Every structure is written in C-alpha cells, then in structure tokens.
Amino acid sequence: MPVFPRTSMNSVPATWKTKLDFSSHQWREWEYRDCTHPNSEPFLRIPKKLWSKRVHYQSKIIKKIQLELEILQEQFTFPYLFILADLEGVILDLWGEGSLHWSMKPLKLKKGSLINLQSSGINALSISIQTGERIFLTGTEHKPTLLQDWKCLCLPISVNGTIFAYLNFNFFSIHMYNTSFALLAAIVQHVEKELESERIDEEHKCGVFETYHFTERERAVATLWLHNKGALYISGELGITEGTVRNFVKKIYAKCNVRDRVSFIQKFL
C-alpha cells in the first residue's frame, strides 16, 4: 500500500502509474540502485559504433516513430522532447531539440546516452524499464536535474506481450497535460499495430518458404524479390553476381510452379 500522501491527480488516467502507485520501500530500493555520483557527467554515452549497431537493429521502429511525429511536431508551439530508447535505456533517437529554450542548449541528452536507473537515476523512462508500465513523473520526482522542470511520460512499445523499446515524451506546457496521455498512447498503439501486422506477414512468408523448401540463400533472394527489388540491387545486398541472382529466381519460380513475379507474389497473399 502506497505511503506517499495522495494529491489531486484526477487528470492521470488509471492505466498510467505515478510515484503514488509505488510503496516507499520500492521507491527507496530504486534510489539505492542509482549508481550516479553528484559530480559525475549527467548522462553517460555508449561508444558510437555500438550505438550504430543498436540503431540498425531497431531501424524499423525508429522509422515508424519518425513518420508518426513528422506531422505532429508542426503543431507544437511549446518546448518538448520525444525520446526513443531500447531495452537497456540507450537513446536510439530523439525529436524536438530545436524547440527547446536557449537556456537548455546544448542539450545534455544525446543519441547514445544512457537514461536507465543505474546510469541516470529515477526518471519516467528508467521506472518504465523496471516495471514495464506506463509511467508519469513530474518535477523533483526525477533524479536528473535536467528533467526536474519537465512533465515526463514513458510508454513501452510491445508486440504480442514482448517489449521492444520505450517512447518517452517530455513537455513543459500545462495546456498539454490532459491530452498528453492520449497523444502518446495513440502514437504507440498505431506503431504496435503496424509491427503486429508485419509480424503476422513475416510468419506467413516463412510458412510459404517452408512449404516450398527454400534454402537459406533462396529465402534471402525471395524476400528482396517480393519487395520488387531488381537483380542488380539484390546482387549488391547479398554480395553475389546478377547472373547468380537470376539463377536463384529461376529455381524459386520452379519450386513454386510460377513463371513471373506477379504469380510468385500471389503465393504470399
């Protein structure tokens, strides 16, 4: 049972967790696990090469979030910051740095910064990582002083019960308070639906590959062929000659008993 005094927070939907939803014992445990030092750098960063690998792995989610935010950002007239982080709290990308007040620049949070519990202390993202819940924190509930003027929401991005990343929304404007929860939830929900649809499509594709006994190399060629890529493009992607690509396509067509790309694609519909 929470021991923190309850305040009027009727605007926070029941599906979101605040500090009041956790016991003092749990909060102290998280504070104890905070390994940051008062005089240390506010946010550690992983090596650029390692960050690039993580971005490549999560490129699909990054692109989808980017598309969701492109139109939305044009409507914001106040300082804000969206942060997309992986399961370990590494910032994969962020949006809204240009909206920040001059006093906050240069922004100390960068791509590759660690914003998990051990590296940055208590914040909405680090607690969401710990609990897998939708988290809302504000003011001095955050350990990093950079975030203590912000209202911060964090929401896991999951497909079929598995979390893949976290989207964090930080803002100042009191006018955004009541709409911010629905806004972030709508963005994540749309991305999750697209990812789920692609997951189902991928499972169906693999099932077709199994049915026709494609080899590993045939699967690689077929996947790109399904996306209307030409022999030249595929040869560059797979490091083989155009002639080899065309030979693979012939073998694939023979296994599927088709004569052209349209008929081949129809096998996957």
Ranked by mean pLDDT, the top range of 83-92, 108-117, 134-143, 158-167 is 83-92
Checking if the pLDDT of 2 tops 70, the result is no
pTM for this prediction:
0.73
Fold topology of 213-267: Arc Repressor Mutant, subunit A (1.10.10)
Average confidence (pLDDT) over 232-239: 92
CA dihedral 115, 120, 121, 123 (to 10 degrees): -40
**Model confidence pLDDT, tens digit, residues 22-78:** 999 999 999 887 765 554 555 789 999 999 999 998 998 999 999 999 878 878 878
pLDDT band of residue 102 (cuts 50, 70, 90) is low
The CA distance from 187 to 105, in Å, is 27
Q: How high is the pLDDT of residue 128?
A: 96
Checking if the pLDDT of 81 tops 80, the result is yes
Q: Higher pLDDT residue, 70 or 177?
A: 70
Average confidence (pLDDT) over 174-200: 85
Which architecture characterizes domain 19-199 according to CATH?
2-Layer Sandwich (3.30)
Which H or E run contains 256? helix 242-256
**Model confidence pLDDT, tens digit, residues 197-208:** 888 788 888 889
The CA distance from 253 to 249, in Å, is 6
Q: Higher pLDDT residue, 104 or 107?
A: 107
Where in the chain is CATH 1.10.10.10? 213-267
CB 242 within 8 A of CB 229: no
Q: Higher pLDDT residue, 145 or 181?
A: 181
197, burial (CB in 10 Å: exposed 0-12, middle 13-18, buried 19+): exposed
Q: Which of 56, 62, 57 is nearest to 191 (CA)?
A: 62
